[in-house]
Amino acid sequence: MPAKFDLNDSSVVVIIGSGAGGGTLANELARRGIPVVVLEAGKRIEMTEFKNDEVWAFSHYTWFDSRTTSGSWSVAKTSPDLPVWTCKLVGGTTVHWGACALRFQEHEFKPRTRYGEISGASLLDWPVDLKEMEPYYDRAENRMGVTGTHGIPRLPVSNHGKVLFAGAKKLGYTQFETTNMAINPVPRDGRASCQQTGFCVQGCTFGAKWSTLYVDIPQAEATGKAEIRSESQALRIEHDASGKVTGVVYVDSTGKQQRQKARIVAVACNSIESPRLLLNSESSKFPQGLANSSGQVGKNYMRHTTGAVFAVFDKPVHMYRGTAQSGIVMDEARLDTKRGFVGGYQMELLPQGLPSFAQNIIPGGWGRDRAWVVDRYANVAGLWVIGEDMPRETNRITLHPDKKDQFGMPIPNIHVDDHPNDVAMRTHGYERGSALYDSIGAKRVVKVPPYPSTHNMGTNRMSTNPRDGVVNSYGQSHDIKNLFVSDGSQFVSSGGENPTLTIVALTLRQAEYIAAQMSKHEI
């Protein structure tokens, strides 16, 4: 049965957020007998409530709280009121994600060493490497059921994937396959197998796709050691005279302000809300914000270098059928500076439902040009360029000086300027993606600018030296021993891979560390 903890129970670990980091951490700690309270700002819906309707899903899942935007990035012009896209519900963005589960490459953990000094970038090596992370990647893949790993078969290729692979082969690429995905190809772990309906990002109605909503959170609750409080918006983290965190002030589902005491606090709110919460928790002892003696909280925001390429063919493709993102070309993910940039990128299938496709395919107003493409929706194929973008101190999350949310707290501003390396990589991705489709007879190719960011990383990064970051290799604050960061904001670099598998792997490692430190009474 789910637990119920008293607000004055200072023995609990309070986890703020229930997505890939927070939901996983809650499960891992609760199964070790450690009491956990999860504060989730969003509502709790059940898998049975999902609908194969992208308009419904967008309106029910999205974090719509006010944010502002600045900088020269294209998203500031095309989507200034929704510059980043994350979910606000129990399970977080694991309800929506496409389930691509890829490991970082060795060089992506050591970008400062491997790339050298790059003007305008704040490159830093991770305090962990691939070898150290491999056992945690293994555990993450097993628990999430990642296809193509540990004897789990790959999903079947869709017609959309066959089009991608045909173009890849024509260009001489060799590293293309159905993606490593956290989606059951066969019944596994008490969950059904993929039914190939194509509505993966609307919430998997079969539960084949891994999500903390219906995997980790129910498992945590079943231990009797975890309580999930939905519609509970964290406002600030409190501390005592020594600087040790003591609890979290939040607004509950009735609109009443509450204070939950804590032995440990873990922040897992995503790369926008996590630094915002730390900055909003400033005090006379921590005038720059909590855990921010380095001044690095909010800095080095990353969101992947992205762009989409769609192609119209003379025959039907039906990109909306089959597992949504189960096709990838990885040849360009290598480190090869001869292309004019460091880092690399993937080309992943990007199917879109008709409402999104019609709205986004050609930026600007309606007209014959857009109508011509939309009219041929059944004959369209699409891919997404997703690559490593450069961390920059000036790409950052700050508190708005004037605007506040419904609870009176300053809202976040997201500032981004593309680094020249990002621009060069995106241009190369557009060229290769277009060539891929042209090679197999595309009648027309359309290049679409970046969408609102969904892979949000950095802003509370790891570092060996406290002056360079916010947390150590376990996500533990350099400044405050019983404060942790448990989401993608601890990333040092973005890599060229979808971030969720790495978030889960880091969280498994962090859970071990927290449990060991608690048993030694170190925290």
419 within 8 A of 120, measured Cβ to Cβ: yes
330-336 long-range contacts (CB < 8 A, ≥24 apart) are 330/175, 330/176, 331/168, 331/173, 331/174, 331/175, 331/176, 332/387, 332/428, 332/429, 332/432, 333/105, 333/175, 333/387, 333/496, 333/497, 335/105, 335/107, 335/114, 335/115
CA angle, 267 then 273 then 275, to 5°: 70
pLDDT of residue 294: 98
**Pair type for strands 396-404 and 410-415:** antiparallel
pLDDT of residue 118: 97
pLDDT digits (tens, 9 = 90+) for 463-495: 999 999 999 999 999 999 999 999 999 999 999
pLDDT of residue 190: 94
At residue 97, what are phi and psi to the nearest 5 degrees?
-55, 155
Through-space distance between the first and last CA atoms of the chain, rounded to whole angstroms: 27
pLDDT of residue 366: 80
pLDDT of residue 367: 86
Residue showing tokens 């691509």: 100
Who contacts 471 (Cβ-Cβ below 8 Å, separation ≥6)? 291, 460, 461, 462, 463, 477, 478, 484, 485, 490
Q: List the chain domain ranges.
A: 13-519
What is the Cα–Cα distance from 125 to 469, expressed in whole angstroms? Answer: 11
The β-bridge partners of 310 are 382, 446
What is the Cα–Cα distance from 94 to 183, expressed in whole angstroms? Answer: 12
pLDDT digits (tens, 9 = 90+) for 447-464: 999 999 999 999 999 999
419 within 8 A of 392, measured Cβ to Cβ: yes
What is the Cα–Cα distance from 320 to 325, expressed in whole angstroms? Answer: 10
Single-letter residue type at 463: S
Helix residue ranges, H only, 302-445: 354-360, 368-375, 420-438
- The CB-side HSE value for 356 (13 A sphere, CA atoms) comes to 18
Element housing 265 (H / E): strand 264-267
161 within 8 A of 322, measured Cβ to Cβ: yes
Question: What torsion do the CA atoms of 507, 510, 516, 518 make, to the nearest 10 degrees?
Answer: -90
DSSP state of 327: -
SS3 of the chain: helix, strand, coil, percent, to 5: 30, 20, 50
Q: Measuring CA to CA, which residue among 265, 283, 311, 275 is closest to residue 442?
A: 311
- Residue numbers in the chain where pLDDT is lower than 50: none
The β-bridge partners of 383 are 309, 349
What is the Cα–Cα distance from 144 to 140, expressed in whole angstroms? Answer: 6
Single-letter residue type at 445: V
Residue 114 token pair: 């491997």
pLDDT of residue 359: 85
Residue showing tokens 């489709």: 437
Question: Cβ–Cβ contacts within 10 Å for residue 363, how many?
Answer: 12
Radius of gyration of the chain (CA): 22
DSSP 176-210: EES--BSB-SS-BTTBPPP---S--TT--TTS-B-
Q: Measuring CA to CA, which residue among 125, 130, 234, 129 is closest to residue 461?
A: 125
For domain 13-519, the CATH class is: alpha beta
Q: Measuring CA to CA, which residue among 317, 352, 343, 59 is closest to residue 165?
A: 317
